[in-house]
Chain A
Amino acid sequence: MSLILEIKNAWIRYPQKNALEDVSLRVEEREMLGIFGYNGAGKSTLLKVIIGLKRLDSGSVMVHGLQLTPRALLEIRRKTAYLPQCLDTDIRMPISAWDVAMMGRYGKIGLFKRPSRSDREFVRTVLRQVDADSYANTPFGMLSGGERQRVMIAHALAQEPRLLLMDEPTNSLDLNFTRNLGNIIREAHRRLQLTSIIVSHDAEFLSEICTRILLMRDGRITRNLLPDEFRDDRLVDRHFREALQ
């Protein structure tokens, strides 16, 4: 197994608090890593660092064997898909769900080229996978929260990434589709030899699909648990009790 991500001593300092405090992390290829923790623990910040949307104050990040620098950014991003925690777009935006899903592939398609037949075929497949094909032609802004979330998941999958970062993917999803999402991610792991990092407050979801779960608190990674340990409530409880002290 080879290393797909390595973060060393990452710090992000804000005037009020540190969003990341000396975070180090190694992720092997094909892992399905969960991240769990309180609001404000720094989970989203960590994902944004990996995709280069937030810059570290100190420390280093290596993704796909490349040091995360402005020059390597484009290449890293093309191999990495990112599902943001929240999305603000204009609800009257003249862009359809199909267009949004297709946008996931734009980096891959490259400049000056139009989506090919196989690109369209691929997008059709992922939209079907997330059960969004019935509203593919609906303007994105008209969709419900969960429908949009599905389209954004399709957007991430359409990219055919090597590394998938998902920030609260089960947000707004109904019970049924949450279960499906687990299968979809597992399937993508097999097909694309994917590695994924999933931030979620849904403990059941994480323990179901992840191979390893990190607990975060106050900008630090404080525990590194196997799914069984994570299911063991006492360990997680103790983690949060310590937080209260």
Chain B
Amino acid sequence: MNISIINDPFMQHAILATLLAGVVCPLIGVLVVTMRLSFIGVSLAHAAFAGALLGLILGVNSAIMALIFSVIAAGILGPLADRGDFSPDTAMGVMFTSALGLSFLFLSLIPGPETEALGLLWGGVLTVTQTELGFLAGVTLVTLLTLLLFYKEVCAVLFQREIAESTGIPATTIFYGILLFCGLAITSSLNIIGGMLVFCLIINPAAAAYQLTYRLSTMFGLSVLIGVLSGWLGLIFSCIFNLPTGALIIVTSSAFFLVTITFSPKRKVHFQTIPKDGNYG
């Protein structure tokens, strides 16, 4: 690999795109991991992917279609997870597999050469356009600002929604806000990381950070650090080995996760049984 590659405008875009995706996805990931919304998140990601493909078929902006699809999915799954009086597992399983089914259907319906569709599937860091980069930058900025503005309310909701609700924090609004931002992060990183992989960049860095700390602010920081490192390392590896960047970013972030669970100070807690003393547990 030649170092002068850095001067290449494609490469500069790629470095910036992986940086932004490596910030925004892991930030959302902290919320998803601590609130145990992984299954909702992955369903949103697949719905967004299906939406983007439909956009390609219909010839409309695929980012907008992806966003619409993930918002619809959030609108369906949110209330199910919200209800609390029955387990939403089944409904989410149905949602998840339906989105997957739709994606395959749309893939087969795409007219002409499938390069663009494959781009969505694998992600293409080196082909990211100025508009896409602008959208991603906007989403990252808005996510950061919103998180800073509502930090304490978000913490309360992460801790326990019902209690947050009962102290006069609009926990339900915040919950749906989180799902919306999750949809935005997914949509804006979709064609960079790849439709099938984008959710990994949300969950892996946050899950790794979760293993390392008992402080929420530290967890946000570590998660972003791991996200950005995975992004850049993935990019470097993909230049060296000439392999898809998105996949390598994910593999790198998974490696981070494996390392952290091996050395996690929480490992002991992990395997402890939860006390069932009738009060808490």
User: Does A pair with B?
Assistant: yes
| Chain A residues close to B by CB (< 8 Å) | 51-53, 74-75, 77-78, 80-82, 84, 86-96, 99-100, 103-104, 106-109, 111-112, 114-115, 139-142, 145, 148-149, 155, 159, 171-172
Residue in A closest to B214 when the chains form the complex, CB atoms: A139
A100 partner residues in chain B, CB cutoff 8 A:
159
Shortest C-beta distance, B251 to chain A (Å), equals 25
Q: List 7 A-B contacts (CB under 8 A).
A: A93-B34, A99-B159, A103-B167, A106-B156, A171-B278, A172-B277, A172-B279
Residue B269 at the chain A interface, CB threshold 8 Å: yes
In the complex, the answer to whether A77 meets B168 with C-beta atoms within 8 Å is yes
**Sample of 17 more A-B contacts, CB < 8 Å, known A78-B167, A95-B159, A171-B279:** A51-B166, A82-B166, A89-B160, A91-B272, A93-B158, A93-B159, A94-B34, A94-B210, A99-B155, A103-B159, A103-B163, A104-B167, A107-B167, A114-B152, A141-B269, A145-B280, A172-B280
Task: Please tell me if the beta carbons of B210 and A92 are within 8 angstroms of each other in the complex.
Answer: yes
Interface flags, B190-222, vs A, CB<8A=1, else 0:
000000000000000000001001111011000
* Distance to closest chain B CB from A171 (angstroms): 5
Question: In the bound complex, how far is the Cα of B275 from the Cα of A89, in angstroms?
Answer: 12
Known A94-B214, A99-B155, A112-B149; contact A106-B280, beta-carbon cutoff 8 A: no
**Would A106 and B167 count as touching, CB distance under 8 A?**
yes
How far does the alpha carbon of A80 sit from the alpha carbon of B163 in the complex, in Å? 12
Chain A residues positioned under 8 Å from B163 (CB to CB): 82, 84, 87, 103, 155
Chain B contacts to A: CB under 8 angstroms:
34, 36, 149-150, 152-153, 155-156, 158-160, 162-170, 210, 213-216, 218-219, 266, 269-270, 272, 274-275, 277-281
Pair A91/B162 contact, Cβ less than 8 Å:
no
Which listed residue, B36, B168, B274, touches A107 by the CB 8 Å rule?
B168
- In the complex where A86-B279, A87-B160 touch, is A94 in contact with B167 (Cβ < 8 A)? no
Q: What is the CA–CA distance of A114 and B281 in the complex, to the nearest angstrom?
A: 31
B159 touches A107 (CB 8 A): no
- B160 A94 Cβ-Cβ under 8 A: no
CB B95 to nearest CB in A, in angstroms, measures: 24
Contacts of A86 in B (CB 8 A): 279-280
- Chain B residues near A90: list those with CB within 8 A: 34, 36
Q: Which residues of B contact A81 (CB under 8 A)?
A: 166-167
- How many angstroms from the CA of A141 to the CA of B215 in the assembled complex? 12
Residues of B within 8 A of A84 (CB): 162-163, 166
